[in-house]
């Protein structure tokens, strides 16, 4: 789940717009 | 006077601010029956993750943000995530909540293993935000100004960020004059909260380590 990603990873993923991955 | 362009800018930011919120069901979970410290910890971690995702979705809508260098975008988001989170959650505490909810939330946070020395400054901040009775537009613009802080670590093109921040500061300044005519210091007081927010976010790193230890 997203919650154990690091802060930067969550930000990169959300910026790239592919949150569903 | 607020120009037409500034009106349009404010509308874009306010719409994005209202569109990107923490999912209702997650916010409700916080109010449900008593959880153990561990469950509280997991719930607040999940909330923090969701707030970061909401922050990024909101920030993408800030005019000019996506024209910045990608690594600078990440540096700005990383540098402001905690402050934006506290600013956003402060509004939860200052909005007129159905009776008892604020107390339940406060109780929940007190029981989640965060040590007292961090809880007091956090609730002091929530109180000082509450006393300002900020309008929605002011909250959205203040959050935007926090995100567009040029001197975050690792930001390379600080001038580009400063130019964006300056446009937002100008709109907020005018808005405060229009909406708070009898309080000439209102704009200064809003910016004063940003400095308080910075100290709070310095606590946050220590807060996390103490939380893990507990």
Query: What are B89-110's pLDDT values in tens digits?
Result: 887 776 656 666 777 777 777 7
How far is B147 from B82, CA to CA, in rounded Å?
Answer: 10
Integer Cα distance of B19 and B31 in angstroms: 22
Is the complex ipTM higher than 0.90?
Answer: no
**B165 has a pLDDT exceeding 90:** yes
Q: What average pLDDT does the segment B127-149 reach?
A: 94
- Give me the pLDDT at residue B157, please: 98
Contact A15 B74 (CB under 8 A): yes
**B56: nearest CB among A3, A5, A11:** A11
CA distance A20 to chain B (A): 12
Mutation choice for A interface testing from B56, B69, B73, B152 by most A CBs within 10 A? B56
pLDDT digits (tens, 9 = 90+) for B9-52: 999 999 999 999 887 777 677 667 666 777 777 877 888 888 89
SS3 content of chain B, % helix, strand, coil (to 5): 75, 0, 25
Nearest CA in chain B to A17: B57
Give the number of other Cβ atoms within 10 Å of residue B21's Cβ.
15
Q: Does B70 touch chain A (CB under 8 A)?
A: yes
């Amino acid at each position: 789940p997203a919650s154990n990603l690091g802060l930067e990873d969550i930000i990169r993923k959300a910026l790239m717009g592919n949150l569903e991955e | 006077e607020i120009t037409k362009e500034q009106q349009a800018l404010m509308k874009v930011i306010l719409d994005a601010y209202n569109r990107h919120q923490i999912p209702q069901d997650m916010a409700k979970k916080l109010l449900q029956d008593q959880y153990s410290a561990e469950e509280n910890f997991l719930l607040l971690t999940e909330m923090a993750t969701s707030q970061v995702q909401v922050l990024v979705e909101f920030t993408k809508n800030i005019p000019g943000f996506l024209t910045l260098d990608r690594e600078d975008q990440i540096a700005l988001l990383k540098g402001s995530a905690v402050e934006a989170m506290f600013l956003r959650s402060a509004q939860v505490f200052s909005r007129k909540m159905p009776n008892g909810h604020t107390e339940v939330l406060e109780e929940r946070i007190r029981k989640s293993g965060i040590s007292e020395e961090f809880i007091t400054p956090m609730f002091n901040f929530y109180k000082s935000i509450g006393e300002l009775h900020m309008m929605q537009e002011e909250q959205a613009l203040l959050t935007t100004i926090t995100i567009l802080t040029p001197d975050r670590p690792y930001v390379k093109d600080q001038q580009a960020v400063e130019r964006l921040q300056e446009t937002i500061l100008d709109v907020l300044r005018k808005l405060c004059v229009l909406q708070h005519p009898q309080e000439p210091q209102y704009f200064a007081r809003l910016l004063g909260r940003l400095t308080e927010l910075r100290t709070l976010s310095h606590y946050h790193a220590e807060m996390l380590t103490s939380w893990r230890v507990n």
